[in-house]
A and B are shown apart, each in its own frame.
Chain A
Amino acid sequence: MTRLWRHAATFALLSLVVACNKAETPTSPTTTAAATTVAEPTATEEFAGTVAAGEFSFYSFTVDQNGTVRVTLEDVSGRNVPSTVWLGLGIGTPSGEDCATTTAVNTQAGASAQLSGTYAPGIYCARVYDIGNLIASANFTVSIAHP
Chain B
Amino acid sequence: MLTPTFRVLCALPLLPATAGCTTYFDTPASPTPATVEVPDLSTFSSDVRKGGFASRSFALKTAGEIQVTLTSVTPSIVIGVGVGIPQSNGSACSLSKSVEAAAGNSPQLTTTADPGSYCVKVFDTGQIQESASFSVTVTHP
How far apart are B7's CB and chain A's nearest CB, in angstroms? 12
Return chain B residues, CB-CB under 8 Å to A43. none
Return chain A residues, CB-CB under 8 Å to B9. 9, 12
B6 touches A15 (CB 8 A): no
CB within 8 Å: A-B pair count? 15
CA distance A131 to B133 in the complex (A): 52
CA distance A29 to B131 in the complex (A): 72
B12 touches A12 (CB 8 A): yes
A20 on interface, CB distance cutoff 8 Å? yes
B16 on interface, CB distance cutoff 8 Å? yes
Q: With CB as the reference atom, state the residue of chain A lying closest to B23.
A: A23
Interface residues of B in 22-62 (CB under 8 A from A): none
A111 on interface, CB distance cutoff 8 Å? no
A-side interface size class: 10 to 19
Return chain B residues, CB-CB under 8 Å to A15. 13
Return chain B residues, CB-CB under 8 Å to A5. 6
CA distance A15 to B5 in the complex (A): 18
Q: With CB as the reference atom, state the residue of chain A lying closest to B16.
A: A20
CA distance A13 to B6 in the complex (A): 13
CA distance A15 to B13 in the complex (A): 8
Return chain B residues, CB-CB under 8 Å to A9. 9
B4 on interface, CB distance cutoff 8 Å? no
CA distance A12 to B20 in the complex (A): 16
13 contacts between A and B (CB under 8 A): A1-B5, A5-B6, A9-B9, A12-B9, A12-B12, A12-B13, A15-B13, A16-B12, A16-B13, A16-B16, A19-B16, A20-B16, A23-B21
